[in-house]
Amino acid sequence: MKALAVLVIFLLVMISGQGADQGVDGPHLVISSVSGHIELERPSVLAILLHNNVSAPALASAEGAGFDAKKRDASGIVALLQSNDDRIKVLSGPQVAGTLAPGESRSLEFTALAEGAEVGIYPLQLLISYSWLSQVTVSGDENLPDVVFQYEDAVQEVPLQAKAVQGPKLQLEELKGEAFPGEESELQLVLANRGDEPALNLQVEAYPQMPFSSVETGKETTRIDPDGFAVVKLKVLTEENATSGTFALPCQIIYGEGDRRREDLAVLVSVRKAGLFGWLLPGAVLLLLLAISYLGTRRYLSGRKRSRRRL
C-alpha cells in the first residue's frame, strides 16, 4: 500500500509540475464547420460543429496518461450564438455541449431569422464558456495524501459567417387541361422555382372538394433548380351533375429534406359541359367538310365532261 501511495504522489506531482498554461496543456475549442443557410423571412437552422483541437498526451505510463488527459478536457461547455446585425436575430438560447475530450467534436444547432435583410454573408459570433483542470496540488501524509484539483473558467469568442439566401420560391406558372362532368380528366401543373436554392424531393398532394369527387396524384418526387420548371400530373374525377364554371382544387406542395416544408396552393380548374351545342358542333364541322368535298368533286367532274365535248 505504501508503495502504491508513493507512486500516486509521484504521478500527481509530475502532472502539477507541467504548468497551467492553457495554450499548452488546456483545451482549445474551434469551429470545424457550419452547415445550413439563413433563408430570408423564414426561421432557419444553423448546425455548428464544435471541436476540441488538441491531441491527447502521449505518456509512458498508462496510469499517468489518464490524469494528464483530464487537463485537456473542456468541461461544462455552454455555447451562445450572437449577432451584431439587427437584421439577423438568433432565436435559440444557450446550448449545453457537456464535455469535450481532446479530438472530440459535437454538433450544436441554433435557429436564426433574417428580417429585412438582403442576400449575402453576415458575421456571427459563438460565445463559448467552459472550465478546465489547470493544476493539481498534493499535500498531507504521504500514505494518505490530500489531492486538490484546481479548475479555471475560460471564455472564448469564435467568429463565424452565415449565408443569407432567398431559398426556394415555388409558383404555379400554368395549368394545362380542363375537367368534364362525369369523366376522369388529366391536369398538368407547371411549377416554377423563382428562388436561389433548389426545391428537393418535391411532391404535390391534392384534396378533392365539390365538384371533384376524387383526385389521383403521382407518388414520385422531383427536383426543381433555381429558374427551373417541373410538370406535375393530376387526375380528377368530376361529378356528373357538375355545372360549368371555375372551381378551386386545394393542393399542397411538399418539398425539402428532413423537416419537409408544406405550402398551400389553390388551383383553379375549369369545368366545361359539352351540352347539345358541344355535341352538334363537331358534326356540323364534319358535314361542312363533306359538302365542300362534294362540291369540289362535282366541279372537277363537270370540267372534265366539258373538255371531252370540246374534243
pLDDT in tens, 246-283: 999 999 999 998 778 999 998 999 999 865 544 455 55
Residue 34's beta-bridge partner residues? 48
Phi, psi of 58 (to 5 degrees): -100, 105
pLDDT for the residue 134: 83
What residue type is assigned to position 36 of the chain? G
∠ CA(208), CA(252), CA(248), 5° rounding? 45
Question: Can you tell me the distance from the alpha carbon of 293 to that of 285, in angstroms, rounded to the nearest whole number?
Answer: 12
What residue type is assigned to position 292 of the chain? I
pLDDT for the residue 218: 83
Region class of 104: left (phi > 0), else alpha (psi between -120 and 50), else beta? beta
User: pLDDT, tens digit, for every residue of 108-140?
Assistant: 999 999 999 999 999 999 999 999 988 777 777
Query: Is residue 207's pLDDT more than 90?
Result: yes
User: pLDDT, tens digit, for every residue of 273-287?
Assistant: 865 544 455 555 566
User: pLDDT, tens digit, for every residue of 22-58?
Assistant: 445 789 999 999 999 999 999 999 999 999 998 876 5
- Whether this model's pTM surpasses 0.75: no
Question: Can you tell me the distance from the alpha carbon of 65 to that of 14, in angstroms, rounded to the nearest whole number?
Answer: 11
pLDDT for the residue 291: 67
| Helix, strand, coil % in the chain, rounded to nearest 5 | 20, 50, 30
Confidence band, pLDDT 50/70/90 cuts, at residue 302: low
Confidence band, pLDDT 50/70/90 cuts, at residue 69: low
In 83-182, where do the E strands start and end? 88-90, 95-100, 105-114, 120-140, 145-165, 170-176
Q: What is the average pLDDT score of the chain?
A: 82
Residue 218's beta-bridge partner residues? none
3-state secondary structure of 62: helix
